[in-house]
């Protein structure tokens, strides 16, 4: 099949590459000429485990092309995916200017039947808006399908190649057939394509992300309670997670969720709800809890240093919003950095993949170290903001040698409380007894 993917970011590049991997001919379109130039030259633009190998293979085989020219990029396509940004607008709703802008441009270009697929996360009713935007300039036949993407950064290739399910919102038999054909190779183990109407498909994506964000905020509230009641959230988590109605995943407390999806999608669903006269109260609380949680460690840090941190210097491990990605959008680490800098402290940081992105934002306002241990010199304490695997069993002797004080504030509960206490550290984590 001939596929076009418009928007070559995290979703577009993974989708395009994975569609090429099963033999389709894929052209990815992006307005960013530097990005397209790099990709054409065989340089991958995001860090995503396993992606580079597939990308290079399909580039070499000629199944994966890149262009900035939309008309050229969609010329032969059977299916055109829109994997464009839908950032929060000023009022919190998803801004559709990229999606509708491209839809209008497509109307000027199309001259035959195609399926246009909304892969971006878009509010209910967007498929109709895309249809209308295309139809402003094109009177021929086409279908608009909603096919939200559920991949997770960090395991995106696996998620795409072996999805738990594929949701396809369409009422067109022709589009349904093409989408079934396209996704067949990814669902060989029997996971379903779930067909539905466009509106339900659009809402499914927001409901999924909002539910997961709710689970995280719920556990963060349980962790708060544990700290106040002398319980251990790790034990409570295991106690409830083994109930299959609850499940083990997404029960880890920490310093809040970030990323390009949960914060904006929860906010957008609250906004969409209010537009139809519904007050989605649970989600408002989910957002409130998360805002507070991002700075959960700050009071303990201030209090350890006698009430203020002006003039203190901190080592910070982890910048990405979660491990195995270089994505720093809405990363809790950045909220911590802002708080520390605004209170007169200084920061030396390390992240295995996200430092270039953070450097672009902070320049020389913070120091970037070559490895985790280089952050520790002259640091008053170590703070951990992302649970990269390489931080899980560090060389504690090296930490002790370099840190000024044996103090760790851990926003991701990486270490065993007893073990680290035995090493003589003052150790603060989230929802566990050492905080008492
Ligand atoms: P991104 O910012 O990484 O990528 C978007 C790309 O679109 C960028 O490369 C940008 O240059 C390009 N672009 C912007 N305007 C364009 C135009 N007019 N023509 C061509 N290209 C254009 O975004 P992303 O993280 O890939 O997210 C895309 C969509 O997918 C969003 O709606 C997001 O909510 C959704 N989504 C993201 C994830 C994720 O984990 N990142 C997962 C599921 C769904």
pLDDT at 433: 82
46 CA: nearest ligand 1 atom: 3
Mutate to test the pocket of ligand 1, among 84, 155, 204 (most ligand atoms within 8 A of CB): 84
The pLDDT > 90 percentage for the chain reads 98
Domains 2-196 and 298-428 share a fold: yes
Instruction: Tell which atom from ligand 1 comes closest to the C-alpha of 45.
Output: 9
Q: What CATH architecture applies to the domain 298-428? A: 3-Layer(aba) Sandwich (3.40)
Q: What is the mean pLDDT of the chain?
A: 97
| Nearest Cα residue to atom 12 of ligand 1 | 7
Nearest CA to ligand 1 atom 34: 121
pTM: 0.95
pLDDT in tens, 17-69: 999 999 999 999 999 999 999 999 999 999 999 999 999 999 999 999 999 99
Residue 434 binned pLDDT confidence (cut-offs 50, 70, 90): low
Summarised one tens digit per residue, pLDDT across range 380-407 is: 999 999 999 999 999 999 999 999 999 9
- Bridge partners of 80, per DSSP, are 4, 116
CATH no. of 2-196:
3.40.50.720
Nearest protein Cα to ligand 1, atom 38: 11
Distances (CA, A) of 346 to 238, 337, 339, 364, 381: 37, 9, 10, 11, 11
Position 436 pLDDT exceeds 60: no
- Distance (angstroms) between ligand 1 centre and the Cα of 96 equals 12
30 CA to middle of ligand 1, Å?
Answer: 10
Q: Which residues are catalytic?
A: 261
Across 68-76, average pLDDT: 97
Domain map of the chain by residue range? 2-196, 205-293, 298-428
Q: Residue 259's closest CA among 304, 198, 292, 212?
A: 212
pLDDT value, residue 435:
45
Fold designation for 205-293: 1.10.1040
- For residue 304, how many other CB atoms are within 10 A of its CB? 17
Residue-wise pLDDT for 269-316, tens only, equals 999 999 999 999 999 999 999 999 999 999 999 999 999 999 999 999
Per-residue pLDDT, averaged over 185-197, amounts to 96
Q: If phi over 0 gives left and psi between -120 and 50 gives alpha, with beta otherwise, what is residue 277?
A: left
Q: What is the full DSSP assignment across 358-390? A: HHHHHGGGSEE-SSGGGG-TT-SEEEE-S--GG
For residues 161-180, average pLDDT: 98
**DSSP class of 307:** T
Which whole number is the average pLDDT over 223-245?
97
Q: Does 409 score more than 60 pLDDT?
A: yes
Name the residue with the closest Cα to ligand 1, atom 15.
98
Ligand 1 pocket (Cβ < 6 Å) reads: 6-12, 29-32, 35, 83-86, 98, 101-102, 120-121, 149, 151, 153, 260-261
């Amino acid at each position: 099949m001939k596929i076009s993917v418009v928007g070559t970011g995290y979703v577009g590049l993974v989708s395009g590459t994975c569609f090429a991997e099963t033999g389709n001919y894929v052209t990815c379109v992006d307005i960013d000429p530097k990005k397209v130039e790099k990709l054409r030259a065989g340089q991958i633009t995001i860090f995503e485990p396993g992606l580079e190998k597939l990308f290079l293979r399909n580039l070499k085989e000629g199944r994966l092309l890149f262009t900035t020219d939309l008309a050229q990029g969609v010329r032969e396509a059977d299916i055109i995916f829109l994997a464009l940004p839908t950032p929060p607008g000023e009022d919190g709703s998803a801004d559709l200017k990229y999606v509708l802008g491209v839809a209008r441009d497509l109307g000027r270009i199309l001259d035959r039947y195609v399926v246009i697929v909304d892969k971006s996360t878009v509010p209910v009713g967007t498929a109709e808006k895309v249809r209308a935007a295309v139809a402003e300039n094109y009177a021929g036949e086409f279908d608009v399908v909603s096919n939200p993407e559920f991949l997770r950064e960090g395991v995106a290739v696996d998620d795409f190649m072996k999805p738990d399910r594929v949701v396809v919102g369409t009422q067109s038999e022709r589009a349904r057939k093409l989408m079934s054909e396209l996704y067949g190779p990814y669902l060989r183990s029997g996971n379903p394509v779930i067909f539905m109407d466009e509106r339900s498909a659009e809402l499914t994506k927001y409901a999924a992300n909002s539910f997961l964000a709710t689970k995280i905020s719920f556990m963060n509230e349980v962790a708060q309670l544990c700290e106040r009641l002398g319980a251990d959230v790790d034990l409570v988590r295991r106690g409830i997670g083994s109930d299959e109605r609850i499940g083990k995943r997404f029960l880890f407390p920490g310093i809040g969720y970030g990323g390009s999806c949960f914060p904006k999608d929860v906010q957008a669903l609250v906004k969409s709800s209010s537009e139809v006269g519904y007050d989605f109260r649970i989600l408002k609380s989910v957002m409130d809890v998360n805002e507070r949680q991002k700075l959960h460690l700050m009071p303990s840090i201030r209090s350890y240093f006698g009430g203020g941190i002006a003039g203190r210097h901190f080592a910070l491990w982890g910048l990405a919003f979660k491990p195995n990605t270089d994505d720093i959008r809405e990363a809790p680490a950045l909220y911590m950095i802002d708080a520390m800098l605004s209170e007169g402290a200084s920061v030396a940081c390390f992240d295995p993949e996200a430092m270039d992105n953070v450097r672009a934002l902070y320049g020389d306002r913070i120091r970037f170290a070559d490895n985790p241990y280089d952050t520790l010199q002259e640091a008053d304490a170590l703070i951990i903001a992302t649970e990269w695997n390489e931080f899980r069993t560090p060389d504690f002797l090296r930490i002790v040698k370099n840190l000024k004080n044996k103090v760790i504030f851990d926003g991701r509960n990486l270490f065993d409380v007893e073990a680290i206490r035995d090493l003589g550290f003052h150790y603060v984590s989230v929802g566990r007894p050492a905080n008492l």
